[in-house]
A and B are shown apart, each in its own frame.
Chain A
Amino acid sequence: MATQTRTTQGAPPPGGVSFSLSDPTFRSIVYQILVVGAVIAVGWFLIHNTLDNLARRSIATGYDFLGREASFGIGESLIDYSPRDTYGRAFLVGVLNTLKVSVIGIILATIIGTVVGVARLSSNWLIAKLASTYVEIIRNIPPLLQLFFWYALVSDSMPPVRQALNPLPGVFLSQRGLRVPVPAPDPVWTTMGIALVVGIAAAWGVSRWARARQARTGQPFPAGWAGLGLIIGLPILTWLAGGAPLAMDVPKLAGFNFTGGAAISPEFFAILTGLTVYTAAFIAEVVRSGIKAVNWGQTEAARALGLPGGPTLRLVILPQALRVIVPPLTSQYLNLMKNSSLALAIGYPDLVSIANTTLNQTGQAIEGVTMIMGTYLVISLSISIFMNWYNKRIALVER
């Protein structure tokens, strides 16, 4: 019996491998050897040529250049950087800038996309039409064109620094971007940050305890409100305990530029606005299809069970809609992150732009391109892994 099954599957007859092309197993092995051999041959050919060319142009391979002095300035950076730092540090600045614009962009695009997606389903004709006009216009225009537009809007149409617009006290809008006042440095801000983290952890603990208690005794506990109180209340208490500092660091015009306050550069504004507006249009479609995918009968059934509006949405509609929304949402997040590489075209110092400068200065083309690709692969894979984990958590548990 066993022999019979194996023969029908095309496995070798007992007693050895048949070296005939009509044996599917043998054939498949031959094909695979041929394919792998061809790939290796092509790869060897390319590597051979590359080494040959590099030797001819006397370019050294390897990542030693990362330790050399970069000697180019970077417009904005999250960490201390000066042209005397190394290429490696410059690249790190680029990676952090990419992450900064991606994370803020993802958060903003999710909020705007959700609002627009819900608005497209609104019973208000005007709102629905407005939302779909936005989606249809934005989705069908190349993101790079939109970036150029936003960038030109700030750098060409805003007044020069001396005639900066002053829409709110302390807020200045000029060709050099936006300047806003920020709270002056004070040790209490660090403590407040710690309090916020503690508050979030405590809220999570309370919600776990409340769920366990409700499962055990049936007694509900307003865990949502308690958690919100902890998350907001703890930092406020720390702030009060720290003497409630109110001093602000207000930007002032000094010479040809502003000093003080926080700056948003035109490049950052353009890339963030462009990515957010573009991706939000796609997220709106994802959200809309997710909500529409939940059958109206689900809402009716929840009402029939006596669930009020809030819990209906939270316990019945959203868990089902999220299941449809999360996979395409993940690919939108990945797209946003990858599109942040368009920053190169408007001069925002993201990782591609810095790697580009590096490879132009050093001639290390292969290393530069592999570093760009490697970094993006790592970020992509991390987002995918996180979203897959989240998707698994909310996925339908079937019998």
Chain B
Amino acid sequence: MTDNVRSVGLPDERPPSNTVGPLAWLRNNLFNTWYNAVLTVLVLALLATAIPPLFNWLVVKAHGFGADSTACRQGAGGACWGFIGEKLRFILFGTFPWEEQWRPLATIAVFIALLVASCDRRLWKPWFGLVWAAGLAVVAILMWGGVFGLTYVENTLWGGLPLTIILSVIGLAVAFPAAILLALGRRSNMPAVKVLCVTYIELIRGVPLISLLFMASVMLPLFLPNGVSIDKLLRAQIAFIMFAAAYMAEAIRGGLQAIPKGQYEAADGLGLTYWQKMRKIILPQALAISIPPLVNTFISFFKDTSLVIIIGLYDLLGTAKAALSDPSWRGFYREAYLFIGVIYWIFCFSMSKYSQKLERDLNRGHRR
């Protein structure tokens, strides 16, 4: 009997050559049908014509960071990184006093540290709010100065990347509680409150941010009692807060709607008051669901801060544009826009990747 059974297994066979290996990958992913083959060849031809000149411009023919504008203009055909080298500190920090520019740099570092730390979900505890408050206080001291031997710097001199980050982070921080109230108001049973909240949200979402910035810059001074005036930065900040509150309220409303009715009924059944119910049962669940859309709101908000250029503030885009108006460096807009485009892109792209990761992590509990 045992003679009929092989005692030694056959040697492992390699998988068929048309399913593994680079050739098979090429066939399956680039040449699987005739039209895909045509498309692949077309795209490769396109890339072959586009990439070498681009690379030449960026690197081979480019002038280094030390180059001056006359050298750049003579040897045309390449990027002029000398422009960035010359204007780097102006683009990043605006008109902040030259010797004090370590302060906006430190501000950026504080903000990045806070943002990176906030990505860790283990730190999402109430005490972390205190860390943020401390961070913002440090930022205020760094930017304004006037204490601890730092010279006082008016906020009209602020500019560049710190201004972009301050407008978006402060705007978000102030708008968040307002957005929660608006979202709750929109789902309230009280008709008057509901109508007010819906009107506010839809009014703000129906008009472009520019019109709000206009309103803040030309109408806000009229709204205030005679003799009271607020500076341009604060007016822009108010417009951003109003804008962000409406959009974030909609993100939070999405989270509130996703909470099953049973949760509300159970809270009512326990005899909790409205605020107890919201604070202890509904909002913790709703906010967790709405974090990914909130991060997306924050990304678009971060991009939208560039609009302050229209009311005459110098954020990152504003300083780049101002740097271009220097007569000796006119025309190097590709370098300037590429440089700040990369900065914006790094911020937004990392936030969007984080939001996607968060969405996956938060969904894990619901998947079976």
Q: Does B193 contact A (CB under 8 A)?
A: yes
Query: Restricting to B300-320, which residues have a CB under 8 Å from any CB of A?
Result: 303-304, 306-307, 309-310, 317
Q: Which residues of A contact B317 (CB under 8 A)?
A: 142, 144-145, 148
- Of all chain A residues, the one with the shortest Cβ separation from B192 is A32
A148 to B211, CA, bound (A): 19
Q: Which of A31, A137, A156, A372 touches B211 (beta carbons < 8 Å)?
A: A372
Q: Which residues of A contact B196 (CB under 8 A)?
A: 35-36, 39
> Is B341 a contact of A141 with CB atoms below 8 Å?
yes
How would residues 250 to 282 of chain B score, 1 for a CB under 8 Å from any chain A CB and 0 otherwise?
A: 000000000000000000000000000000000
> Is B206 a contact of A125 with CB atoms below 8 Å?
no
A366 to B221, CA, bound (A): 11
Query: Restricting to A336-369, which residues have a CB under 8 Å from any CB of B?
Result: 338-339, 341-342, 344-345, 352, 356, 359, 365-366, 368-369
Interface residue tally on A, bucketed by range: 35 or more
CB distance from B189 to the nearest CB of A (A): 7
Q: Which residues of A contact B219 (CB under 8 A)?
A: 50, 365-366, 369
> Is A144 a contact of B309 with CB atoms below 8 Å?
yes
> Is B352 a contact of A123 with CB atoms below 8 Å?
no
Spot the interface stretch: B35-43, B93-101, B153-161.
Answer: B35-43
Query: Restricting to B196-239, which residues have a CB under 8 Å from any CB of A?
Result: 196, 203, 205-211, 214-215, 218-219, 221-226
Q: Which residues of A contact B206 (CB under 8 A)?
A: 376-377, 380-381
> Is B208 a contact of A140 with CB atoms below 8 Å?
no
> Is B310 a contact of A345 with CB atoms below 8 Å?
yes
Query: Restricting to B25-58, which residues have a CB under 8 Å from any CB of A?
Result: 29-30, 32, 36, 39-40, 43-44
- Of all chain A residues, the one with the shortest Cβ separation from B350 is A140
Q: Which of A124, A144, A365 touches B40 (beta carbons < 8 Å)?
A: A124
Query: Restricting to B129-181, which residues have a CB under 8 Å from any CB of A?
Result: none
- Which residue, B30, B191, B219, has most C-beta atoms of chain A within 10 A? B219
Q: A126-B30, A140-B344 are in contact. Are A149 and B218 (CB under 8 A)?
A: no
> Is A369 a contact of B331 with CB atoms below 8 Å?
no
Q: Does B321 contact A (CB under 8 A)?
A: yes
A78 to B262, CA, bound (A): 57
Q: Does A136 contact B (CB under 8 A)?
A: yes
CB distance from A38 to the nearest CB of B (A): 10
Q: Which residues of B contact A54 (CB under 8 A)?
A: 222
> Is B337 a contact of A149 with CB atoms below 8 Å?
yes
Q: Which residues of A contact B348 (CB under 8 A)?
A: 139-141
Q: A124-B36, A124-B40, A372-B211 are in contact. Are A145 and B306 (CB under 8 A)?
A: yes
CB distance from A382 to the nearest CB of B (A): 11
Q: Which residues of A contact B44 (CB under 8 A)?
A: 126
> Is B226 a contact of A52 with CB atoms below 8 Å?
yes
> Is B214 a contact of A372 with CB atoms below 8 Å?
yes
Q: Which of A148, A338, A342, A359 touches B337 (beta carbons < 8 Å)?
A: A148
Q: Does A96 contact B (CB under 8 A)?
A: no
Q: A125-B30, A142-B303, A144-B309 are in contact. Are A149 and B333 (CB under 8 A)?
A: yes
Q: Which residues of B contact A141 (CB under 8 A)?
A: 303, 341, 344-345, 348
Q: Does B354 contact A (CB under 8 A)?
A: no
A46 to B228, CA, bound (A): 13
CB distance from B314 to the nearest CB of A (A): 14
How would residues 269 to 305 of chain A score, 1 for a CB under 8 Å from any chain B CB and 0 otherwise?
A: 0000000000000000000000000000000000000
Q: Does A181 contact B (CB under 8 A)?
A: no
> Is A144 a contact of B223 with CB atoms below 8 Å?
no
Q: Does B106 contact A (CB under 8 A)?
A: no
A338 to B211, CA, bound (A): 10
> Is A140 a contact of B349 with CB atoms below 8 Å?
yes
Q: A28-B189, A124-B29 are in contact. Are A376 and B207 (CB under 8 A)?
A: yes
CB distance from B245 to the nearest CB of A (A): 15
CB distance from A41 to the nearest CB of B (A): 13
Q: Which residues of A contact B345 (CB under 8 A)?
A: 137, 140-141
Q: Which residues of B contact A32 (CB under 8 A)?
A: 190-193
> Is A356 a contact of B214 with CB atoms below 8 Å?
yes
Q: Which residues of B contact A342 (CB under 8 A)?
A: 210, 307
CB distance from A309 to the nearest CB of B (A): 14
Q: Does B110 contact A (CB under 8 A)?
A: no
- Of all chain A residues, the one with the shortest Cβ separation from B347 is A140
- Of all chain A residues, the one with the shortest Cβ separation from B351 is A140
Q: Does A164 contact B (CB under 8 A)?
A: no
A341 to B207, CA, bound (A): 10
Q: List 23 A-B contacts (CB under 8 A).
A: A35-B190, A36-B196, A50-B219, A123-B36, A126-B44, A127-B43, A140-B348, A142-B304, A145-B306, A145-B341, A148-B321, A148-B337, A149-B333, A156-B331, A338-B209, A341-B210, A345-B310, A352-B210, A352-B211, A366-B222, A372-B211, A373-B211, A373-B215
Query: With contacts A49-B226, A54-B222, A137-B345 known, what are 9 further pairs, Cβ within 8 A?
Result: A49-B225, A127-B43, A144-B306, A145-B317, A152-B333, A341-B211, A369-B218, A377-B206, A380-B206
CB distance from A58 to the nearest CB of B (A): 13
Q: Does A253 contact B (CB under 8 A)?
A: no
- Of all chain B residues, the one with the shortest Cβ separation from A155 is B333
Q: A125-B30, A376-B211 are in contact. Are A31 and B222 (CB under 8 A)?
A: no
Q: Does A143 contact B (CB under 8 A)?
A: yes
Q: Does B358 contact A (CB under 8 A)?
A: no
Q: Does B287 contact A (CB under 8 A)?
A: no
Q: Which of B207, B310, B340 touches A373 (beta carbons < 8 Å)?
A: B207
Q: Which residues of B contact A144 (CB under 8 A)?
A: 306-307, 309, 317
Q: Which residues of A contact B189 (CB under 8 A)?
A: 28
Q: Does A315 contact B (CB under 8 A)?
A: no
A359 to B348, CA, bound (A): 35
